[in-house]
């Protein structure tokens, strides 16, 4: 008969502590509250023999616990939120692998065992096979790399799922290709329906002229069209859409925090709308139904599983939250969703937040998402100095603060209140001056509400920083939530926009880690691909999409980049005790990769795929 054990939290914490300790730690590797090194998540010290013996002893104790009753008053939760029930025989084991556990200093293991949605043993093939029973599923990793499930720390999940069925202009080559793709979609769109999608970028074109309504009007007719640029901070609208919004040569004036691009002679709109001006048209687009959003969630989940993504930090629209609740209740949610409610006026939504769980194995709402500024590509990221290529008559030569953050003092008060409510705050900030003002706001939070051990507010993107602000992330305990594939994108034109001097503190991964900051990596999908291996390659090579090297002095190691998708992401969501590493007692989110990231040339990392994705002890997807 099977025997069950409840593994006490104290035991797991002790085990995790053993796994993180080496016999020698360099002077700058200060132990953090989660047992890792605060200076750089993946400056993993090598275990000397004494420390390795402690690892083996701890693993042996964990495995022996499987055969006896251990009573604890605080049993950890299983993958379904119920108390962890480890059994003497595993549900699934992975053997013959090369396990990167993510634990500082830990040696490579060969195998692991899973029961009831949790990891119950990590070690050698011999040890792990000993806990297999007649009904255990055995997965032969065939010497492939096994890593913790990857987390995309900044994503628009349901929006990405909706985009899968919309017009994708990401890879168009020039104006002719752009118009051809729009015309093709228009032919299969019913009269009067919106043509949606976009994600275009002209920076790699031979003629990088921005599109105008004149490009698409002849092929779209009366179908309104709204196509955001790749970064989501400007969009092309055709004449049909502009007419619905009442935008013409006579008005309206630019809204606060936005720009209606106009012909300098006639005043007629070109069709390009930037930041808050986009709302004039986007607010008219019919909202997808709850059923359509639910289908998009399932499509997005299947898509992300192909890349080994087992969890996300989602920038959620209010309409998304009931969809996640439904998926949890129906047992169909197979991604772990750490959600931020993305709204303009936070003060109107505290009641909304109270309707949803603040903790949960599969879905919870952690806090609020806001915006400081726009983007570099749209020249609306808010910089301390003017853009190098700003026109002489530019209305916003330094970029702009969006309406939510202007005046910044009022936004700071919103951040202080959210912190006082115990919420995690995540704010989009790209320009160096926007980041400076946001760090000031986070410092004001500490002054207003006092110190708190588990305060982990976030800067989303943190792309361009003043050199003096880099060390403030670590000192303030602010998470740098960054998207390395954006670096490959922006590297094509960043020097033209802001010059070589300011680029030196752009995408400052190396400097942030060296000054004690925590990195959490994501994609911003559907802005760019959610493929984490494209992101890892960009972070370690510094190569832009056009082949040039961009700020290579800020490159980090493969291990550091992988940690930002695992250990760092777990820390950024307060779940480092459940996720991010392959350790006994943690949730069984595991990925087997097609190649070993540590053995192949850096330029081949982007070819990597997830051969097997396991979430909560269950194999998901077909890939």
Q: Give the pLDDT means over successive 10-residue stretches in the chain (623 positions).
A: 35 37 27 34 33 44 38 33 54 98 94 97 96 96 98 98 95 95 96 94 90 97 95 94 96 95 95 96 96 98 98 98 98 97 95 93 98 95 97 94 97 98 97 98 97 94 98 98 96 96 98 98 96 98 95 98 98 98 98 98 98 97 63
SS (H, E, C) 93-157: EEECCEECCCCCCCCCECEEEEECCEEEEEECHHHHHCCEEEEEEEEECCCCEEEECEEEEEECH
Cα–Cα distance, 581 to 118 (Å, whole number):
12
- At residue 329, the pLDDT reads 97
Whether the Cβ atoms of residue 5 and residue 131 lie closer than 8 Å to each other: no
| Count of helices and strands (H, E) across the chain | 20, 25
SS (H, E, C) 193-241: CCEEEECECCCCCCCCCCCCHHHHHHHHCCCCEEEEECCCCEEEECHHH
Cα–Cα distance, 351 to 468 (Å, whole number):
38
Cα Rg for the chain, rounded, in angstroms? 25
| Phi, psi values for residue 137, rounded to 5° | -80, 125
Residue 530 CA to its chain's centroid (Å): 9
| Max CA distance (Å), the chain | 85
Closest by CA position to 232, among listed 518, 488, 598, 486: 486
- At residue 84, the pLDDT reads 40
Cα–Cα distance, 383 to 393 (Å, whole number):
17
Query: The tokens 């720390």 sit on which residue?
Result: 153
Kind plus residue range of the DSSP H or E element containing 442: helix 432-449
Q: How would you classify the pairing of strands 518-521 and 479-482?
A: parallel
Residues 6 or more apart from 236 whose CB is under 8 A from it?
198, 200, 211, 212, 213, 215, 216, 225, 226, 227, 229, 271, 272
ω into 252 cis (within 30 of 0): yes
- At residue 436, the pLDDT reads 98
Whether the Cβ atoms of residue 96 and residue 36 lie closer than 8 Å to each other: no
Whether the Cβ atoms of residue 335 and residue 298 lie closer than 8 Å to each other: no
SS (H, E, C) 545-567: CCCCECCHHHCCCHHHHHHHCCH
- At residue 253, the pLDDT reads 96
CB atoms within 10 A of CB 252: 12
Distances (CA, A) of 427 to 300, 381, 437, 495: 24, 13, 11, 25
Closest by CA position to 381, among listed 398, 403, 393: 398
- At residue 88, the pLDDT reads 59
- Can you read off the two tokens belonging to residue 323? 């969809």
CB atoms within 10 A of CB 332: 12
Helical ranges in 221-375 per DSSP H: 239-245, 279-282, 290-305, 321-330, 350-353
Closest by CA position to 457, among listed 521, 370, 390: 370
- At residue 6, the pLDDT reads 34
Closest by CA position to 585, among listed 132, 83, 21: 83
> 373: which DSSP letter?
B
First to last CA, the chain: 36
SS3 call for 583: coil
Report the length, in residues, of the chain.
623
Q: pTM score, two decimals?
A: 0.84
Cα–Cα distance, 176 to 587 (Å, whole number):
50
């Amino acid at each position: 008969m099977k025997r069950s054990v409840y593994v006490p939290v104290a035991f797991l914490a002790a085990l995790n502590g053993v796994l993180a300790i080496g016999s020698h730690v360099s002077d700058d590797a200060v132990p953090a509250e989660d047992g890792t090194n605060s200076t750089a998540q993946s400056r993993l010290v090598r275990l000397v023999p004494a420390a390795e013996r402690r690892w083996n002893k701890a693993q042996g104790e964990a495995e022996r616990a499987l055969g006896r009753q251990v009573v604890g008053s605080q049993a950890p939760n299983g993958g379904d939120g119920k108390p962890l029930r480890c059994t003497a025989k595993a549900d699934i084991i992975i053997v013959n692998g090369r396990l990167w556990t993510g634990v500082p200093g830990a040696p490579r293991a060969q195998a692991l065992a899973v029961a009831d949605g949790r990891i119950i043993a990590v070690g050698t093939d011999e040890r792990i096979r000993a806990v297999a029973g007649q009904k255990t599923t055995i997965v032969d990793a065939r010497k492939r790399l096994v890593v913790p499930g990857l987390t995309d720390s900044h994503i628009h999940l349901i929006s990405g799922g909706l985009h899968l069925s919309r017009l994708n202009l990401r890879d168009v080559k020039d104006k002719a290709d752009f118009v051809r793709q729009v015309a093709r979609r228009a032919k299969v769109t019913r009269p009067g329906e919106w043509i949606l999608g976009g994600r275009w970028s002209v920076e790699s074109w031979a003629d990088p002229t921005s599109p105008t309504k004149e490009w698409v009007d002849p092929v779209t007719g009366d179908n309104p069209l709204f196509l955001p640029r790749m970064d989501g901070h400007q969009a092309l609208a055709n004449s049909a859409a502009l007419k619905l919004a009442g935008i013409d040569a006579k008005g309206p004036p630019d809204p606060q925090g936005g720009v209606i691009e106009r012909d300098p002679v006639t005043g007629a709109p070109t069709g390009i709308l930037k930041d808050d001006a986009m709302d004039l048209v986007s607010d008219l687009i019919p909202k997808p139904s709850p059923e359509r959003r639910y289908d998009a969630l399932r499509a997005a989940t299947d898509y992300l599983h192909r890349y080994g993504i087992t969890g996300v930090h989602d920038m959620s629209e209010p309409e998304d939250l009931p969809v996640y609740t439904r998926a949890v209740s129906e047992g169909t949610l197979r991604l772990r969703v750490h959600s931020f409610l993305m709204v303009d006026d936070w003060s109107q939504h505290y009641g909304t937040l109270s309707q949803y769980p603040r903790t949960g194995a599969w879905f919870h709402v952690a806090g609020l998402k806001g915006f400081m500024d726009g983007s570099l590509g749209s020249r609306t990221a808010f910089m301390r100095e003017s853009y190098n290529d700003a026109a002489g008559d530019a209305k916003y030569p330094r970029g702009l603060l969006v309406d939510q953050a202007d005046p910044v003092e009022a936004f700071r008060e919103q951040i202080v209140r959210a912190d006082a409510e115990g919420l995690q705050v995540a704010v989009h900030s790209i320009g160096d001056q926007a980041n400076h003002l946001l760090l000031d706001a986070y410092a004001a939070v500490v002054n207003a509400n006092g110190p708190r051990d588990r305060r982990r507010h976030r800067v989303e993107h943190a792309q361009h920083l003043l050199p003096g602000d880099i060390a403030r992330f670590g000192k303030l305990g602010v998470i740098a939530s960054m998207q390395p594939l954006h670096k490959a994108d922006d590297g094509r034109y960043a020097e033209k926009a802001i010059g070589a001097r300011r680029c030196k503190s752009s995408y400052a991964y190396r400097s942030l880690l060296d000054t004690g900051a925590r990195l959490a990596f994501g994609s911003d999908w559907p802005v760019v691909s959610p493929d984490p291996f494209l992101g890892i390659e960009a972070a370690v090579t510094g190569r832009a999409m056009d082949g040039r090297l961009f700020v290579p002095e800020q490159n980090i190691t493969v291990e550091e980049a992988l940690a930002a998708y695992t250990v760092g992401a777990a820390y950024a969501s307060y779940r480092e005790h459940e996720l991010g590493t392959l350790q006994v007692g943690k949730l069984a989110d595991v990925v087997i990769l097609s190649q070993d990231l540590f053995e192949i040339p850096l330029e081949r990392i982007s070819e990597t795929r997830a051969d097997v994705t396991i979430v909560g002890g269950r194999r998901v997807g077909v890939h």
